[in-house]
């Protein structure tokens, strides 16, 4: 199965993508869970959620907001500490990750976001990656894909 990557530019799109693309059997890693608003949406659609944030204060807020959600594991950790995340995934998710969601700041440097995404793709091999990042979404929206066999772009809108 080929992995799909969805890039969103704002919270509304990010949450809509979660609502539309997650299934009830999914094990999800959410990076940058903040106070847990999106986590609650994910928890209502997925089997298990490992929600990560490096801010202790945000994790405290998420603990309050998600106290009733039995399928959520909250982790106060830097998402770049993949070794630690992997050990939690092995223990709590049975080594299975179907979806990775990344929201580490909507205006974060796209290179940092792509680096993090590539690491998670390599280690966990999810079927779906959903990323919220304004600069990355804006950059990608201006891209076209060259089709070398046909000597033209796959999709070209005349300006």
The SS3 call for residue 78 is: coil
Confidence of residue 8 (pLDDT cuts 50, 70, 90): very high
What are 114-131's pLDDT values in tens digits?
A: 999 999 999 999 999 999
| Mean of pLDDT values over 84-103 | 95
Give CA–CA dist 41/21, Å, rounded: 12
State phi, psi for 97 to the nearest 5 degrees.
-130, 120
Q: Is the pLDDT of residue 103 over 90?
A: yes
Longest dimension (CA), the chain: 56
What are 34-72's pLDDT values in tens digits?
A: 999 999 999 999 999 999 999 999 999 999 999 999 999
Give CA–CA dist 8/15, Å, rounded: 9
Give CA–CA dist 132/138, Å, rounded: 11
Helix (H) or strand (E) holding 115: helix 110-124
Rg over CA atoms, the chain: 16
Distances (CA, A) of 70 to 5, 35, 40, 84, 132: 28, 17, 11, 22, 26
* CATH numbers and ranges of domains, the chain: 4-153 (3.40.50.150)
Residue 38: partners with Cβ closer than 8 Å, 6 or more residues away: 11, 14, 15, 18, 30, 101, 103
pTM of the model: 0.89
């Amino acid at each position: 199965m080929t992995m799909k990557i969805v890039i969103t530019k704002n919270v509304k799109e990010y949450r809509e993508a979660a609502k539309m693309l997650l299934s009830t059997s999914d094990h999800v890693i959410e990076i940058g869970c903040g106070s847990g608003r999106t986590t609650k949406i994910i928890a209502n659609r997925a089997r298990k959620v490992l929600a990560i944030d490096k801010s202790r204060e945000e994790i405290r807020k998420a603990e309050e907001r998600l106290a009733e959600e039995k399928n959520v594991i909250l982790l106060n950790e830097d998402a770049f500490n993949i070794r630690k995340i992997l050990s939690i995934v092995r223990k709590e998710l049975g080594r299975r990750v179907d979806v990775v969601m990344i929201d580490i700041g909507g205006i974060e440097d796209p290179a940092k976001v792509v680096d993090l995404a590539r690491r998670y793709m390599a280690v966990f091999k999810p079927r779906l990656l959903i990323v919220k990042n304004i600069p990355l979404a804006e950059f990608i929206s201006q891209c076209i894909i060259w089709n070398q066999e046909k000597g033209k772009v796959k999709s070209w809108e005349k300006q």
